[in-house]
């Protein structure tokens, strides 16, 4: 987690650093800090979200045309001003920002303290500043000292470092934490993610593990960790800076929910590419999906699809559990890893294990992310940058990619034709927004919700509950509707709204029975179903209805949208910022 930015430009750096780091605030918002270099090192940093800290400190009020910046998601040490980055050495001659974790920080700290270094923070990051200081003190350049320091540490890091002793230079290094380089005209950048610098350049170099970048007014030089110069592989990014703006919506999350019809259309355009990828897949006898969070819910739908339409036995594993139980991976198994960011540490770890035994396919949204360099096959979702911490448009794009994969493998053209109609179904849901706002107002004070569904609606129930928990802080329990009676029904009473996902189809009547069961115990029913479903209407206290009937198999895509909107509006009603819910970060780069 955490976001880092660095730049050397022709203008005052602090306002540009602030603007860039704002675009990374989705990565962490416990504290923020900037350091610029202009003869001396100038630092401004504080605890809290960027706007609040900026109001208190005026983060742009420091001189110089180069500098580094950071937003923090705390791992080591409380989210205080002292622990905010940049961190410095003993004499404030070196300043450094870091994303990642230094695993051997305790022993290094003891060692450095014994050598006389004075520490001021509780962070693991400060170790690096002191290590670089130590190596510069014995005559090494900033570049060499940084290289030597990184060789001493164990763990993951993306860092940017400046030193008063070498003005006009910024060093960045990456190992297992994302870092990209922006090679603009006479302006150079380092950042954790592409959206941070899109306004300034679309020329991007993706650093690999154990590579470093040296920014100077003359441009960028990429080297390996032994100091050998590498070729600058510049990629031209198609995303525009507008894509990372709110575009008139109150929050990124709302904008991203509204973008879903277009996202689906864009993702569908890749069907010919997917057909090429699956041409190599007929040999696989088994599938294993691996993912976390929302991407895990997309994976469960993947399992149902592979087993229903192709009859291929399919496992679904949480990335963080995969290291403990890997089933029977072999060369007949295709391992599919789903991740919007392509940087989730648990998923990357699982990929490393899977790569040793099976072929791997990554379904990913972020171009050039780590997973795209390590999986055997790649399918890109076309959601564009997702800034809201809660995944919405990337989830539906993952679903569309999985459907296309299964359609291409099963040659089910009827389903492909229907898939093309989904953007219109979603537009109808979006037209019902005012009605969903009313429902949000009615239930905003509930303490617990249940989300129930069967078959293809079961993962939708899980996803609805996750959205609710993430951005409203209300407890939401997602359950297979048929499983309620095996225990959780004991919790049901008239204080608990039950959100039932009931598309027309095979699961419909059985889920209706489950609705009856919870109603008999006092629960209020909010349902998502067809607006022509009179029985469902009569059983529900409130219904979020879809005008058109869609086949049950495709229902997970449009049916998740009312749940996203409901959570969004409950969050707003409760005075929460849904784009930056507490304790969360968009991209989880620690295990
Ligand atoms: C979803 O709203 C969450 N932000 C989270 O569960 C997320 O889906 C999970 O961390 C996985 O992220 P990834 O898709 O980038 O790997």
Residue extents of the structural domains in the chain: 3-240, 246-420, 428-579
266-275 pLDDT per residue, tens: 999 999 999 9
Cβ atoms of residues 381 and 394 within 8 Å: yes
Best of 296, 344, 399 for a ligand 1 pocket test (most atoms within 8 Å of beta carbon): 344
Tell me, what's the pLDDT at 76? 79
Tell me, what's the pLDDT at 75? 78
Tell me, what's the pLDDT at 77? 81
- Shortest-distance Cα residue to atom 7 of ligand 1: 293
* Phi, psi (rounded to 5 degrees) for 12: -65, 130
- Shortest-distance Cα residue to atom 4 of ligand 1: 390
Q: Is the CATH code 3.40.50.10490 the one for domain 428-579?
A: yes
CA–CA separation, 473 vs 567, rounded Å?
A: 10
Q: Which atom from ligand 1 is nearest to the alpha carbon of 466? A: 2
Give CA separation, 472 vs 24, 49, 579, 588, in Å.
22, 18, 11, 20
* Pairing label, strands 333-339, 377-380: unpaired
This prediction's pTM: 0.84
Q: Which two tokens stand for residue 80?
A: 């205080």
Mark the ranges of the chain whose per-residue pLDDT is less than 50: none
CATH assignment, 246-420: 3.40.50.10490
Cβ atoms of residues 423 and 265 within 8 Å: yes
Please work out whether the CB of residue 340 comes within 6 Å of at least one atom of ligand 1: yes
**Fold of the domain built from segment(s) 3-240:** 3.60.20
CA–CA separation, 499 vs 307, rounded Å?
A: 27
Domains 3-240 and 428-579 fall in the same CATH topology:
no
- Shortest-distance Cα residue to atom 5 of ligand 1: 293
Tell me, what's the pLDDT at 67? 98
Give 587 Cα–ligand 1 centroid separation in angstroms.
Answer: 7
Give 291 Cα–ligand 1 centroid separation in angstroms.
Answer: 9
């Amino acid at each position: 987690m955490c976001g880092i930015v660095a730049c050397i430009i022709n203008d005052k750096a602090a306002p540009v650093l602030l603007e860039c780091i704002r675009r990374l605030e989705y990565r962490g918002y416990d504290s923020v800090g900037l350091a610029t270099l202009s003869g001396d090192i100038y630092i401004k940093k504080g605890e809290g979200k960027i706007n609040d800290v900026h109001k208190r400190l005026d983060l742009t009020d420091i001189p110089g045309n180069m500098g580094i910046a950071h937003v923090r998601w705390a791992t080591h040490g409380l989210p205080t001003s002292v622990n905010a980055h940049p961190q410095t050495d003993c004499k404030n001659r070196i300043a450094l920002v870091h994303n990642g974790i230094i695993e051997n920080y305790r022993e290094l700290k003891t060692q450095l303290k014994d050598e006389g270094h004075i520490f001021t923070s509780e962070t693991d990051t400060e170790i690096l500043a002191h290590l670089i200081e130590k190596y510069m003190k014995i005559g090494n350049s900033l570049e060499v000292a940084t290289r030597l320091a990184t060789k001493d540490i164990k763990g993951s890091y993306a860092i940017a470092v400046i030193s008063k002793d070498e003005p006009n230079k910024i060093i960045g290094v990456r190992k297992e934490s994302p870092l990209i380089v922006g090679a603009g005209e006479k302006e150079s950048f380092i950042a954790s993610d592409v959206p941070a610098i899109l306004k300034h350049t679309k020329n991007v170099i993706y650093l690999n593990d154990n590579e470093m970048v040296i920014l100077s007014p003359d441009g960028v030089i990429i080297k390996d960790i032994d100091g050998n110069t590498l070729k600058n592989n510049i990629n031209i990014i198609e995303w525009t800076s507008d894509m990372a703006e709110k575009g008139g919506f109150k929050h990124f999350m709302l904008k991203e929910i509204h973008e879903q019809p277009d996202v689906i259309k864009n993702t569908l355009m890749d069907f010919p590419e997917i057909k090429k990828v699956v041409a190599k897949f007929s040999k696989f006898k088994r599938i294993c999906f691996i993912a976390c969070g929302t991407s895990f819910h997309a994976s469960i739908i993947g399992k149902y699809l592979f087993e229903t339409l192709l009859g291929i036995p399919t496992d679904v594993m949480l990335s963080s559990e995969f290291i403990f139980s890997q089933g029977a991976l072999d060369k007949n198994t295709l391992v599919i890893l789903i991740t919007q960011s392509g940087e989730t540490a648990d998923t990357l770890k699982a990929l490393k294990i899977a790569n040793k035994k099976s072929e791997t396919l990554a379904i990913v949204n972020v171009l050039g992310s780590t997973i795209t360099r390590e999986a055997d096959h790649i399918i890109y979702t076309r959601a564009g940058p997702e800034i809201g911490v809660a995944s919405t448009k990337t989830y539906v794009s993952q679903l569309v990619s999985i459907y296309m994969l299964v359609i291409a493998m099963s040659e089910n053209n009827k389903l492909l034709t229907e898939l093309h109609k989904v953007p219109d179904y979603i537009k109808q849901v979006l037209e019902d927004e005012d009605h969903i706002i009313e429902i949000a107002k009615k239930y905003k004070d509930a303490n617990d919700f249940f989300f129930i569904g069967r078959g293809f609606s079961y993962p939708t129930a899980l996803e609805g509950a996750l959205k609710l928990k993430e951005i409203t802080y209300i407890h939401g329990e997602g359950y297979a509707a048929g499983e309620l009676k095996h225990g959780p029904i004991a919790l049901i009473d008239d204080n608990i709204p039950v959100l039932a996902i009931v598309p027309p189809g095979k699961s419909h009547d059985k889920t209706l029975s489950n609705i009856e069961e919870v109603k008999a115990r006092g629960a209020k029913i909010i349902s998502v179903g067809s607006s022509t479903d009179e029985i469902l209407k009569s059983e529900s206290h409130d219904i979020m209805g879809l005008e058109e009937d869609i086949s049950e198999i495709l229902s997970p895509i449009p049916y998740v949208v009312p749940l996203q909107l409901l959570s969004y509006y409950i969050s707003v009603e409760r005075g929460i910022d849904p784009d930056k819910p507490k304790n969360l970060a968009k991209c989880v780069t620690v295990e």
